[in-house]
Structure 1
Amino acid sequence: MDLRQLRHFVAVAELRSFTAAAGELHMSQPALSQSVARLEKELGCALLHRNKQNPGQGVLLTVAGETLLEEGRDLIAAAQRAEERTRRAGRTSSGVSLAMGFTSGTPQHLVAAALAAADGIDGVDVYPVELDWGHEHQAIVTGRADLAYLQYAEGTPVAGHTVTGLELLERVALVPTNHRLAHRGRVTLADLAGEAILDPGSAEGVPGYRDLWLGEPRPAGMPIGRIVGPPARTVQEMYSFVAAGRGMAIASKAVADQFQRDDVVALVVPDLASVEVGVARLVEDRRPPVRQVFDALSRLSRL
């Protein structure tokens, strides 16, 4: 069994379709079918069954297939981490180079703190890598980042990661300057009831991440309004959508402080709990430099 075959199988298993998987992998369906068949022959067991009775439900996984899907995802992620870490190691002539993941919503002083942390550790260099919102923990799994700053509902566990909470950030509502509430410095969820809100995306984020930026759950009688897509990919896109009147957005006060525009105002929402920002690494990552930087940043916790 090689990684190429494993990736082929995982694509089919996740999409439940040879046709869809072939399109995602940019290969022909017959070639994909042959690859999965060879894998089944090597393992000596069936992994998939075509659902002839109900084709609309796609292919079905056998018990062996379910097992390989779970194990295969871990193997593919481990291979990606090894590839990314090896490439980083090849870019430095001496010492260890670590990637610190952050997003445009990360408080800037924390990014600076990560760089400063490496200054006190011999032979270790840290460089920042900007990540997509809501995918920070996935970047650690794939190896794109060795550590990363995450934002999550206070106290939320992140499976497979060791996380130290560093500080709490207020959440604010972003509205255009011509909005009926724009003149107020603070608003309540009752004030925002029924307001259209930008889709925060990131359904694959840490548990509760999407609800965090929708302001969910909300009390009875204070319903969320229409969720407006597509999700903004950057802070600049989010502000542009808000300014254009597509909908309000919920962000951390750090975002509002770091990105200010004349056509958007930030209103504190005191009945929304603060968001926690923390530093994370993989539980299984035993490399001393990673742990040294993680411990140095953990000591900055204000919680």
Structure 2
Amino acid sequence: MDLRQLRYLDAVARARSFTAAALDLHVAQSALSQQVAKLERELGVELLRRTTRRVEVTEAGELVLARGRRALAEAEAIRADLDALHGLVRGRLRIGGVPPVSGLHPASLIAEFGRAHPGVEITIREDVAALLLDELEAARLDLVLALVAPDDTSPALTGVRLLDEELAVVAAPGHALASRKRVPHAALADEPLVAYGHGSALRHELDRLFPDGRVVAEANELATLRELVALGLGVTLMPAAVVASARDEELTVRPLHPRVRVPVSMLWRANETPTPAARAFREHVLAEVTKSS
């Protein structure tokens, strides 16, 4: 038994799929399967039950994983401690991100950090906030940037509120709302809405403000939402800074009245010592937010 086999077993158990685990680990699926099978032969037990649809962890597999994950965590901690001792920033950094909001542009932050720390292998995961936070809690991500307040997440997570972002009404230029300087909440009550999918922080806010709203389309891509709105299918709410640069002929952006602001936070697991790479990225983000404030 070695750490590589335990790491492979853990990846398959989390993904419930050999294919997905191989992609996550950047290894051939055949090599992954061989190492897991070898571990099962060495231990003399079935650790994973393969079905046509997914992979299930056996009772023996759960026992092995419980100790194996502790061993993997200790091995990572040894490397992190040694790197910290020598002032090195390297290793792996897995970030869950959101589209750009306010002065915070995740892609730019990550690119700048990568150039400054070429020894860090960075993986970026984009999805709705709820799924990203689940992956963070399950230790499949190291950090998440999301439109939620740290206090509104699981007790297993913590973080820092970086800034607040104002939401704006976005409509096609010819829409009736385009003639208003400010849009009262009541004016959106009967409007067809274009929204992010369930699980996103923006969808949660839209449902909170308009619980009886009529959603005519859902999308998780910012470009798709903007295009649907520009074509007149419906209106939506977006962080004002995301659409502030839009040309007048593409979209009309109007403030809500009364104003609505959402938090922008950086989140990580509570009661866990960060790796040097995760700590350095936290400091990088905080420095950039301070600089732009």
TM-score bracket, normalised by the shorter chain, equals 0.5 to 0.7
CA–CA separation in structure 2 for the residues paired with 1:266 and 1:242: 11
The residue aligned with 2:262 is 275
Task: Using structure 2 for the length normalisation, give the TM-score.
Answer: 0.60
Q: CA deviation at 1:270?
A: 4.3
Report the CA distance between 1:261 and its aligned residue: 4.4
User: Please, which of 167, 183, 186 is the counterpart of residue 183 of structure 2?
Assistant: 186
Q: Deviations over 1:171-204 (max 9, x none)?
A: 2232211233332321416624462414357x4x
Unaligned 5+ segments in structure 1 are 119-124
Alignment correspondent of 1:41: 41
SS of match in other structure, 2:148: strand
Tell me which residue corresponds to 1:212: 204
Identity over aligned pairs, percent: 24
Instruction: Check conservation: 1:242, 1:248, Cα contact below 8 A.
Output: yes
* Partner in structure 1 of residue 274 of structure 2: 285
Give the length in aligned residue pairs.
267
Residue 215 (structure 2) aligns with? 225
Match of 2:163 in 1: 167
Equivalent residues in 2 for 1:40-79 (5 A)? 40-50=40-50, 58-66=54-62
Gap runs ≥5 in structure 2 = none
Name the amino acid aligned to 2:256: V
What's the offset of the Cα at 1:134?
Answer: 4.8
- Kept in 2, the 8 Å contact 1:150–1:278? The answer is yes
In 2, the alpha carbon distance for the partners of 1:261 and 1:69 equals 56
Q: Are 1:81 and 1:142, in contact at CA under 8 Å, matched by a contact in 2? A: no
Q: What CA distance in whole angstroms lies between the structure 1 residues aligned with 2:251 and 2:77? A: 40
After superposition, the Cα gap between the structure-2 partners of 1:258 and 1:200, relative to the gap in structure 1 and judged at 3 Å, is: farther
Q: Deviation at 1:27?
A: 3.6
Q: CA separation in 2, counterparts of 1:80 and 1:179? A: 55
Deviation of the 1:64 alpha carbon:
3.5
* SS at 2:215 equivalent: coil
- Say whether the 8 Å CA contact 2:191–2:234 is kept in structure 1: no
CA shift, 1:109, in A, is 6.8
C-alpha separation in 2, matches of 1:248 and 1:79: 51
When the two chains are superposed, the root-mean-square deviation of aligned CA atoms in Å is 5.5
State the 1:132 CA deviation: 4.0
Residue 101 of structure 2 corresponds to residue 106 of structure 1: yes
Say if 1:77 and 1:179 are closer, same or farther in 2 by CA, change over 3 A: farther
The residue aligned with 1:122 is none
